[in-house]
Amino acid sequence: MDRKRLLGMTPTQLKEAALAAGLPAFAGGQLAKWIYQRRVTDFSAMTDISKSGREALASLYEVGTLSPIDVQVSGDGTKKYLFPVGENAVEAVVIPDEDRRTLCVSSQAGCKMGCRFCMTGRQGFHGNLTAADILSQFFSVDDAASLTNAVFMGMGEPLDNWEEVKRVIEVLTSPWGLGWSPKRITLSTIGVLPMLKRFLDESRCHLAVSLHNPFGEERFSMMKVEKAWPLRDVVELIRKYDFSGQRRVSFEYTLFEGWNDSPRHADALVRLLKGLECRVNLIRFHRIPDFPYGSVPEEGMEAFRDRLTRGGLTATIRASRGEDIFAACGLLAGKHKSK
Ligand code: SF4
């Protein structure tokens, strides 16, 4: 019989799990402490639970963290982990930066959204990750205990798997969980409108929107999502929320030579985001096979940034990390090495 995974359960669910194993209800709270705060994965080490209780738990459940099947280290210290999830494998990346250690986490195996410039999108969709699969990435990297931040920017569209992602955020930010501030978490989306509204209402985490082109028709040629949920509607929704305080919104803009790097694009971007408290992150594109556009040289990126700045936007060129191990934005493909 497959044992159920406890990772990702709330205290209420852990209480039910404890009762089902014949333990008193308060053992649910003990389990939450052992799993989330002490990061213990072996029931036999949970010493404030009776020996027979621990045995009963072990016969029905497992904590359910997954061990990576491969780890690659980049010259800049970025580490890319490959985790097995059923038939598939997903990637997580740890990016060290001065006093920060950021985990870039995957929320799906592959992705349905099919953005043309994205290696994950090209791989197709192989399933949603469960909260346990996602949390496993937090618990099983070498630097697990010293992670300071997390970005939902790995494989998959997190708002296409919102219920599980929301549970992960609950575990990360609850006092009974990891106790993180929501300010340490950023969710990146291409703009799945109905779920974006839920994310904005149901969490206090930062938001990053993959924008890439201010013109609907041009954006649609690379990002099918534009048809169902046009960017202008996404921006209109975002304008209804307050980003002048602790919560931040940023727009990701990957520059492709000859597609979205002209002054016309910069000016349209300024018009689109005018008056919104936000930041634009300009991202260098990494050439991928069978794709018509290349990357924009440094001077072109700087000229684009300066035009945005002159228009009143806060814009920065984002440093690309882990390029040599294919851990940079849009490069996660997550296949088993043997494939
Ligand atoms: Fe999916 Fe994001 Fe890639 Fe688009 S860019 S295909 S949403 S992973």
CATH number of the domain encompassing residue 52:
1.10.150.530
Q: Which atom of ligand 1 is nearest to the CA of 155?
A: 8
Domain identity same for 33 and 123: no
Model confidence pTM above 0.85: yes
Domain identity same for 167 and 267: yes
User: Is 329 among the catalytic positions?
Assistant: yes
For residue 156 and ligand 1, the question of a CB distance below 6 A is answered with yes
13-22 pLDDT, tens per residue? 999 999 999 9
CA of 172 to the centre of ligand 1 (A): 24
For residue 226 and ligand 1, the question of a CB distance below 6 A is answered with no
Domain identity same for 55 and 163: no
Domain identity same for 102 and 234: yes
CA of 121 to the centre of ligand 1 (A): 5
Residue 327 pLDDT: 64
**144-173 average pLDDT score:** 96
User: % helix / strand / coil in the chain, to the nearest 5?
Assistant: 35, 20, 40
Instruction: Say whether pLDDT at 203 is over 80.
Output: yes
For 219, the token pair is 């954006």
Q: Where are the beta strands (DSSP E) in 190-324?
A: 206-210, 249-255, 279-284, 314-317
Q: Is residue 333 part of a domain?
A: no
Q: Which atom of ligand 1 is nearest to the CA of 160?
A: 7
Q: Is residue 330 part of a domain?
A: no
Q: Is residue 219 part of a domain?
A: yes
User: In terms of DSSP H, where are the helices of 63-161?
Assistant: 119-122, 131-140
208-244 pLDDT, tens per residue? 999 999 999 999 999 999 999 999 999 999 999 999 9
Residue 153 one-letter amino acid: M
Residue 54: domain span: 4-62
Q: Which atom of ligand 1 is nearest to the CA of 121?
A: 6
Domain identity same for 187 and 54: no
Instruction: Say whether pLDDT at 335 is over 50.
Output: no
